[in-house]
Amino acid sequence: MGVTELAAAIAARQTSAVEAAQHLLVRARQHEGLGAYLAFNKDATLAQARAADARLAAGERGPLLGVPLAHKDIFVTTDFPTTAGSKMLQGYQSPFNATVVQRLADAGAVSLGKLNCDEFAMGSGNDNSAYAPAHNPWDVSRVPGGSSGGSAAAVAARLVPAATGTDTGGSIRQPASFTGITGIKPTYGRCSRYGMVAFASSLDQAGPMARSAADCAVLLSTMAGPDIDRDSTSLDHPAEDYTAALNQPREGATASQPLKGLRIGLPTEFFGAGCAPDVINAVRAALAEYQKLGATLVDISLPRTELSIPVYYIIAPAEASSNLSRFDGVKFGHRAAQYTDLADMYQKTRSEGFGPEVQRRIMIGTYVLSHGYYDAYYLKAQQIRRLIAQDFQQAFTQCDVIAGPVAPTVAWKIGEKSEDPLANYLADIYTLSTSLAGLPGMSVPAGFGAGGMPVGLQLVGNYFKEGELLQTAYAFQQATDWHLRTAQGF
């Protein structure tokens, strides 16, 4: 069951929060080979479930009351250890919950555990996790995408109805696309970053991953909202009821054409030779469905799409090199067992604690921020970042929503790109610009491509248009059943 169905079953007392949690904990163990989870704490989970059942017995009702979820291991939690997929934080126990985690807990959601991810959310295949790769339920020899690969694998394998993820340059949208689930990265600042282990602070954003847009709407309504005292980049914009937005009638809409009047912009740059034909075909078929729903398609241009790769891979490592300097063996996590002096302690601690991709990014970031290179790289990247954001504003004068592929191919084989960082970076081409501009974006299951692997349709909206995005995805999901398909064996 998805979130909405399960919440209804729990509210009707057809099952209990404890029963649902126990069932899914057993399922998670049965499918341990997927590598979706990094940590459980059965006693804590059942205590949360009993508390939810008590609230239900007292007559309380809510769309998440008693519903099991799991969190990407980048959100700090008091009930589970937090590693951010890194050896550096092995065994780290946070004294507080991330705001997003706390809000979901307050709404009565029950946390089953922590989900695998690329180390410090750096990666596109979950193969940078220091613990284990995660596998794609549609073909376990393939990656589930990254960095929120554990979240995607768990939801796609029906181990949990929904999960949290984070997206810095595509880490919600791309794994959702690779595993046939729905995920939304909200406008930057919409969800609090408090308690999210920082990768690139000007890009990091939390969001839900679930089977359907309707289920994402339920989670996002609880996750979003100002948290200004704890996160100075949190936006002072009241939380919205995204579930209500799903069925909000559009001007001129009819029952058979719920999206009448919606202008969908197709960036030329997203449909070029760089995108695999099987992906393009699935995306085009989804767009034809949108036309039936009343939407019109308009050609637009995002001319600096290609530049988003160098710009992102300068800005994100620059911020990461700064954020990760706190992991010095003194304040947090791992410390080398043997060292001669302070400098040696730092060096050994960081060499042992960080994996190769994280070290690579710290070096790139330190380099582009260094005296003499700052103006040439970092400052230039920031200037182009502004132009990329302006390209979107220009595009939104011609359309309401932008659509295209999420990634240029379906999920690749585990190990295929592990030795080639550049190949990983290039695969982020369609998701990075949205993040650089701080815009909301989502991935919606849109069919299957090569090897029978899922393909996602990316939808990007203007700032604060999460409601319209979710409605656009919801209308599609009312007319199609891609999001209901489940991988064989799950």
Least Cβ distance, residue 23 to ligand GLN (angstroms): 31
What are the structure tokens assigned to 433, written together? 């610009």
Catalytic residue among 171, 192, 321, 418: 171
Q: Please, which residue, 170 or 461, has the CB nearer to ligand GLN? A: 170
Taking CB under 6 A as the criterion, the residue among 119, 127, 231, 428 binding ligand GLN is: 428
Give me the least distance between CB of 172 and ligand GLN, in Å please. Answer: 7
Is 171 a residue of the active site?
yes
- When asked if residue 134 is in the footprint of ligand GLN (CB under 6 A), the reply is no
Annotated catalytic residue, options 147, 221, 321, 418:
147
Binding window for ligand GLN (CB under 6 A); candidates: 54-62, 120-128, 208-216, 451-459: 120-128
Q: Determine the Cα–Cα distance for residues 212 and 5; give it in Å rounded to an integer.
A: 11
CA angle 456-458-459, nearest 5°?
A: 140
For the bound state, the minimum distance from the C-beta of residue 147 to ligand GLN, rounded and expressed in Å, comes to 4
Q: Does 125 bind ligand GLN (CB under 6 A)?
A: no
Number of chain positions touching ligand GLN (CB under 6 A): 13
Residue placing its CB nearer to ligand GLN in the complex, 284 or 360: 360
Instruction: Using CB under 6 A, pick the residue from 124, 129, 234, 321 that binds ligand GLN.
Output: 124
Of 47 and 426, the one with the shorter C-beta distance to ligand GLN is 426
Residue 385 CA: distances (Å) to CA of 205, 245, 376: 17, 31, 14
Which residue in the set 4, 77, 97, 147 belongs to the binding site for ligand GLN (CB under 6 A)?
147
In this chain, which of 88, 121, 220, 286 binds ligand GLN, going by CB under 6 A?
121
Q: Given the DSSP bridges, would you call strands 162-167 and 182-185 parallel, antiparallel or unpaired?
A: unpaired
Give the interface segment with ligand GLN, choosing from 121-129, 190-198, 220-228, 387-395 (CB under 6 A): 121-129
Write down the least CB distance from residue 429 to ligand GLN, Å: 11
Please give the Cα distance from 320 to 137 (Å, whole number). Answer: 31
Beta strands in 242-359 (DSSP E): 263-267, 296-300
Stretch that binds ligand GLN, among 17-25, 122-130, 187-195, 446-454 (CB under 6 A): 122-130
Max intra-chain CA distance, the chain: 74
Task: Name residues contacting ligand GLN, limited to 160-199 (CB under 6 A).
Answer: 167-171, 199
Q: Report the nearest approach of ligand GLN to the CB of residue 290 (Å).
A: 26
CB of 117 to ligand GLN, least distance (A): 8
122 is an interface residue for ligand GLN by CB under 6 A:
yes
**Window 298 to 317, contacts with ligand GLN (CB under 6 A):** 316
Cβ nearer to ligand GLN, comparing 316 with 437: 316
**What does residue 353 show for φ and ψ, rounded to 5 degrees?**
-80, -35
* Contact predicate 314/388, CB 8 Å: no
User: Which region, judged by CB under 6 A, interacts with ligand GLN, from 117-125, 301-309, 388-396, 449-457?
Assistant: 117-125
Q: Which of residues 339-398 bind ligand GLN (CB under 6 A)?
A: none
Q: Considering beta carbons, is residue 63 or 146 the nearer one to ligand GLN?
A: 146
> Which residue lies nearer to ligand GLN by CB, 170 or 195?
170
Q: How far is the CB of 409 from ligand GLN (least distance, A)?
A: 14
The least CB distance from residue 274 to ligand GLN, in Å, is 16
Binding site for ligand GLN (CB under 6 A): 121-124, 147, 167-171, 199, 316, 428
Tell me which residues are annotated as active site. Answer: 72, 147, 171
